[in-house]
């Protein structure tokens, strides 16, 4: 079997660039001023983008002890926080709410401060950088080697899964690098808490005191990775940053991890060096098995080295990366709908559909996000697609790659929305003289032309043929399929104590065959309890009838009793 190279899919969240340290090589640090603290709204927006892109880790990084810098506190206090760690804790809670595991790099912290953050962080980190006393750290109280070693040791006592590392080319010698690695190895042998060590090459930045420094050479990196492999216990992953170093030339020296790669945010510490795209990562590791991981390594999950409140998120994300395997979601979608994003796949005949947590109504006028909503709809859609395939109805569903991600057949979508109605409800009662709840004599099929700008107008058979959307035979086939779906679903829901009021379908073509596409979920159906008439669908959200996620879970519990919702 080929050697395994791991990586994490993360979103980088720099809460502030203000820092008490003045390193000779850093461009991350900025003085206090307007926008020096990322607002809560901005943080949540970035976290949502990360969650939607399939990230599993929220990397919180910020300047060390910014409170010590004159003029900083008013910019933090405007958001109601008295310290940067308090703010980090609150934003880490938001990350967890969105299904991301936080990992915090806060610079020097006391044992009490790390303990405070531990209930919302799956792991933490602090670069040792070097054990040497170097000019680059002259104005950096937090870079004193003894203080950094003491914090890494405190993390071990607290059983915090930890990341550390050394920075090459900042004025240290080869013997300094060896000493730094030996210190890290000794701490790990004592506490067993160091998951990974980063071997990072310094990249000179214009405008800094060290802009003329040569930095670390490829040979330096290769030699230090070999040295790390020789010195470190074998259970510590050896990581290099693939955006900074010639990874293909260094991997054979003993690298086992490529760190956090973000599909949505830049490397704020080295902004001039973009992350490799996931397809580039796969090419870079040709000859190796590329495997995704969480920010907390499997061994520490097995040991239970995490706060109980993180358990559900860890389990969910473990399942996500297990199902995703080595397949990756590109950074940019081909198409973004109101509640789903569609991405290209490595297979040109397939697409990747991510069910998002967005919920909209009234053509997007009302818009919110609900934790787990995407997964619930994806679970339902997979269930119904498989059921309909078994009944002879071809669908675009191929497999699930994550709880909220479906691999589907690439279709040429037909710009029609086919609605099947069994009971009068919704727009039908507004347009026609019927009362809500009236059972129709037979199922009624209506078709709308999909065009947001035109308001999805209703379209008749003649127009569909004249506009060359479908031939008469194709239109007849679509209607037959819609009524067949209705027959299967109506019978099934009836057994579950649910009335299928109406639903909408979309279709597409591939190789001359018409397939059922899009989704079949609580978002696309109107469902009522047979006895009470209670809504179990999007109307709960649309008309503020109660907890829409509870309603969706109710449906899944009835249709898939062992779904674990």
CB atoms within 10 A of CB 437: 13
Q: Are 188 and 233 in contact (CB under 8 A)?
A: yes
Per DSSP, 82 falls in state: S
Tell me the CA distances in angstroms from 418 to 45, 359, 458, 468, 485, one per residue in order: 34, 21, 10, 17, 11
What is the pairing mode between strands 162-168 and 194-201?
Answer: parallel
In our burial notation (b when 16+ CB lie closer than 10 A, e otherwise), range 338-373 reads ebbbbbbbeeeebbbbbbbbbbbeeeeeeeebeebb
3-class state of residue 248 by DSSP: helix
DSSP percent split of the chain into helix, strand, coil, nearest 5: 35, 25, 40
CA distances from 465 to 28, 412, 457, 476, 505 (A): 61, 17, 16, 11, 19
Q: Are strands 412-413 and 101-105 parallel, antiparallel or unpaired?
A: unpaired
Asked if 231 and 194 count as a contact pair (C-beta separation under 8 A), the reply is no
Which tokens sit at 99? Answer: 């299904």
Joined tokens for residue 475: 């239109």
Q: Which of 239, 243, 241, 242 is nearest to 255 (CA)?
A: 239
| Contact by Cβ (8 Å): 502, 427 | no
Phi and psi angles of residue 322, each rounded to the nearest 5 degrees, phi first: -65, -45
Residue with tokens 């950088």: 129
Query: What sign does the CA torsion over 363, 369, 375, 377 have?
Result: negative
The b/e string for 454-473 (b: 16+ C-beta within 10 A; e otherwise) is eeeeebeeeebeeeebbeee
Task: For residue 88, say whether it is annotated as part of any ligand binding site.
Answer: no
Nearest CA-CA partner of 375 in 445, 319, 458, 292: 319
Per the rule left: phi > 0, alpha: psi between -120 and 50, beta: everything else, 383 is alpha
Torsional sign, CA 434, 440, 446, 450 = positive
In angstroms, rounded to a whole number, what is the distance separating the alpha carbons of residues 489 and 358? 25
State the sign of the Cα–Cα–Cα–Cα dihedral 354, 355, 356, 359: positive
**Torsional class of 437: left (φ above 0), alpha (ψ -120 to 50), beta (otherwise):** left
26 is in an annotated binding site: yes
Q: Residue 23 annotated as binding?
A: yes
Closest Cα to residue 450, out of 543, 355, 518? Answer: 518
> Residues forming the annotated binding site?
19, 23, 26
Which residues make up each annotated binding site for [4Fe-4S] cluster?
19, 23, 26
């Amino acid at each position: 079997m080929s050697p395994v190279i791991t990586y994490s899919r993360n979103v980088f969240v720099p809460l502030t660039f203000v820092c008490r340290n003045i390193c000779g090589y850093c461009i991350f640090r900025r003085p206090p001023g307007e926008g020096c603290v990322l607002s809560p709204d901005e943080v949540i927006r970035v976290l949502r983008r990360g969650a939607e892109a399939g990230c599993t880790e929220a990397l919180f990084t910020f300047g060390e002890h910014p409170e010590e810098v004159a003029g900083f506190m008013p910019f933090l206090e405007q958001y109601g926080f008295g310290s940067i760690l308090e703010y980090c804790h609150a934003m880490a809670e938001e990350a967890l709410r969105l299904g991301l595991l936080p990992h915090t790099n806060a610079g020097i912290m006391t044992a009490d401060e790390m303990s405070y953050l531990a209930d919302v962080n799956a792991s933490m980190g602090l670069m040792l950088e070097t054990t040497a006393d170097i000019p680059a750290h002259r104005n950096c109280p937090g870079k004193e080697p003894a203080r950094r070693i003491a914090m890494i040791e405190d993390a071990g006592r607290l059983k915090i899964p930890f990341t550390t590392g050394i920075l090459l080319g900042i004025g240290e010698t080869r013997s300094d690098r060896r000493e730094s690695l030996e210190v890290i190895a000794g701490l790990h042998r004592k506490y067993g808490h160091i998951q990974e060590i980063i071997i990072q090459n310094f990249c000179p930045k214009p405008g800094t005191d060290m802009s003329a420094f040569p930095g670390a050479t490829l040979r330096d990196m290769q030699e230090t990775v070999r040295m790390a492999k020789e010195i470190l216990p074998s259970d510590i992953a050896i990581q290099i940053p693939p955006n900074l170093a010639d990874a293909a030339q260094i991997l054979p020296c003993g690298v086992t991890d490529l760190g956090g790669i973000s599909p949505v945010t830049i490397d704020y510490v080295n902004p001039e060096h973009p992350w490799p795209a996931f397809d580039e990562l796969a090419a870079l590791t040709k000859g190796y098995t590329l495997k995704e991981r969480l920010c907390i390594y499997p061994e520490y999950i097995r040991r239970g080295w995490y706060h109980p409140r993180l358990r559900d998120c860890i389990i969910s994300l473990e399942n996500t990366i297990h199902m995703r395997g080595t397949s990756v979601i590109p950074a940019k979608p081909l198409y973004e709908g109101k509640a789903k994003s569609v991405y290209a796949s490595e297979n040109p005949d397939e697409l990747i559909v991510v069910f998002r947590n967005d919920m909209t109504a009234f053509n997007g006028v009302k818009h919110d996000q609900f934790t787990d909503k995407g997964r619930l709809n994806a679970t339902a859609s997979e269930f119904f697609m498989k059921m309909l395939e078994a009944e002879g109805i071809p669908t675009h569903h191929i497999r699930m790659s994550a709880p909220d991600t479906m691999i589907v057949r690439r279709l040429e979508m037909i710009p029609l929305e086919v609605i099947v109605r069994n009971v009068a409800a919704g727009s039908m009662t507004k347009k026609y003289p019927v009362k809500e709840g009236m059972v129709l004599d037979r199922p009624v099929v209506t078709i709308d032309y999909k065009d947001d700008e035109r308001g999805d107008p209703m379209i008749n058979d003649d127009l569909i043929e004249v506009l060359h959307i479908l031939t008469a035979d194709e239109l007849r086939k679509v209607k037959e399929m819609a009524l067949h779906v209705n027959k299967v679903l109506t019978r099934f829901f009836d057994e579950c104590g649910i009335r299928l009021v109406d639903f909408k379908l979309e279709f597409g073509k591939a190789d001359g065959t018409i397939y059922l596409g899009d989704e079949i979920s609580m978002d696309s159906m109107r469902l009522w309890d047979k006895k009470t008439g209670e809504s179990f669908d999007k109307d709960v959200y649309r008309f503020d009838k109660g907890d829409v996620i509870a309603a969706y879970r109710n449906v899944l519990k009835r249709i898939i009793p062992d779904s674990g919702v």
